Amino acid sequence: MDKSVLRTENLSVSAGKKSILNPVSLKIPGDGVFGIIGPSGAGKSTFLKTLNRLCELTPGLQINGQVFHRGVPLYHHGVDVDALRKRVSMIFQQPVVFPTSIFANVIFGVRHTETIPKKDWPDLAERALRQAALWEEVKDRLKKPGKELSIGQQQRLCLARSLATDPEIILMDEPTSALDPGSTEAIESLIHQLKKQQSIILVTHNMRQADKVCDLVAFIGLQDGTGTLLASGSLDELRSRNNIPGFEDYLCCE
């Protein structure tokens, strides 16, 4: 039996004639944090977005190959894409806070995708905010606009918003690259907490972060201008191998 939560099979992405990502076949286990590392512009984010079919919303991208979620093919007619995206949620590089109150932000997904009675929303919001370690900071100003929070708090608000819908997998696209060191640390320790319940797939180009939070990593580098999966395994394993093209350059430049 396939124990991986997500498995890609010859998954490639192109924009018109230009190839963005060479075929990737990768198994992502369900427990722990799976990191995707590599130089910027190598298609890490694009790869991440194929995992919940979010990349289909970018006009002009063609996706070939297949992704299996617990053995079930995702690129298949009849897959409920909206339900999939709810199970496989995504956190972006820049926090995307909706122009509404903190409270409305947290329950945004729940209110539109689930039939939870309105009276349960506050409890749910509190639970999600606690999970995102934001509750103590915002409990007295839930009605204030989400945009008033600091950028680090905003990112945790986005995390709480995802957590409120109880996703199985959280995709994180360089979630700390816009944040200050303090907020980065907060998010990193959150990831440690969250990985007990959720599978987390984290794109990062920060090796320190990868060392700190990732159990396994995949290295996606550039070959002839196209993103290519060059190695995967634990970081120590990757370091001990010396035949991964571009990996040493990547390590030393980081």
Partner 1 sequence: MGKAAKLPKHNRFCAIKAASWFFTSLAFVAVTAGLILLLVESIPVWRHSGLEFITGRNWFYRAREFGALPMIYGSLQVAVIAILIAAPIAVGAAIFGTEFLSGRLRIGLKIVIELLAGIPSVIYGLLGILLLRNWVYDSMESLDILSGDTLLTAGILLAVMILPTIMTLADDALQSVPRAQRMAARSLGLTATETAINISLRGAFPGLIAAVLLAMGRALGETIAVFLVVGRQDNQLPESLFSFQPLVESGQTLTSKLGGSETNIAYGEPLHWGAMLGLGILLMIMVTALTFAGLGLQNLARRKNET
Partner 2 sequence: MKRKFFDLLFRTATCLCVVFSCAVLLAIIGFIVKQGSSAVSRAFLTGEITGAGASGGIFYNLVGTGILLATTFLVSAPTALSIALLHGVYLRNYRHREKITILLYILNGIPGILFGIVGLVVFVQWFGWGKSWLAGGILLGFMILPTVSVTLIERIASIPRKYIEAAAGLGLRQSEIVRSVILPQSAGGLATGLLLGLARAAGETAPIMFTATIFAGATIPNGIRENPVLSLPYHIFILAQDSYSPEVNSRLWAAALVLVILVFAMSIVALPARLKIHEEADHG
Task: Name which position in 89, 153, 155, 198 contacts partner 1 (CB under 8 A).
Answer: 89
Report the residue number, 75 or 108, with the smaller CB distance to partner 1: 108
Q: Cα–Cα distance between 121 and 106 in angstroms, integer?
A: 9
User: Binding string, 62-81, against partner 2, x = CB under 8 A?
Assistant: ------------------x-
- Tell me whether residue 158 or residue 202 sits nearer to partner 1 (CB atom): 158
Asked if 113 is part of the footprint of partner 2 (rule: CB under 8 A), the reply reads yes
CB of 21 to partner 1, least distance (A): 19
Report the alpha-carbon angle 164-176-29, nearest 5: 65
Q: Binding partner 1 by CB under 8 A: which of 16, 99, 181, 182? A: 99
Q: Which stretch binds partner 1 (CB under 8 A): 158-166, 181-189, 196-204, 243-251?
A: 158-166
216 is a site residue for partner 1 (CB under 8 A): no
List of residues 6+ apart from 45 with CB closer than 8 A:
93, 173, 174, 203
Report d(CA 202, CA 200) in Å as an integer.
Answer: 6
Q: Given the complex with partner 2, which of 83 and 151 has the nearer CB atom?
A: 83
- Two tokens, residue 129: 């905010």
Q: How far is CA 94 from CA 99, 133, 158, 178, in A?
A: 15, 19, 10, 6
Q: What are the CA-CA distances from residue 119 to residues 100, 104, 122, 126, 129 (Å)?
A: 19, 14, 7, 13, 17
Q: Which of 16, 17, 60, 82 binds partner 2 (CB under 8 A)?
A: 82
According to the binding rule CB under 8 A, does residue 156 interact with partner 1? Answer: no
Q: Is 92 in the site for partner 1 (CB under 8 A)?
A: yes
Return left, alpha or beta for 38; rule: phi > 0 is left, psi -120 to 50 is alpha, else beta: left
Residues that bind partner 2 (CB under 8 A): 80, 82, 113
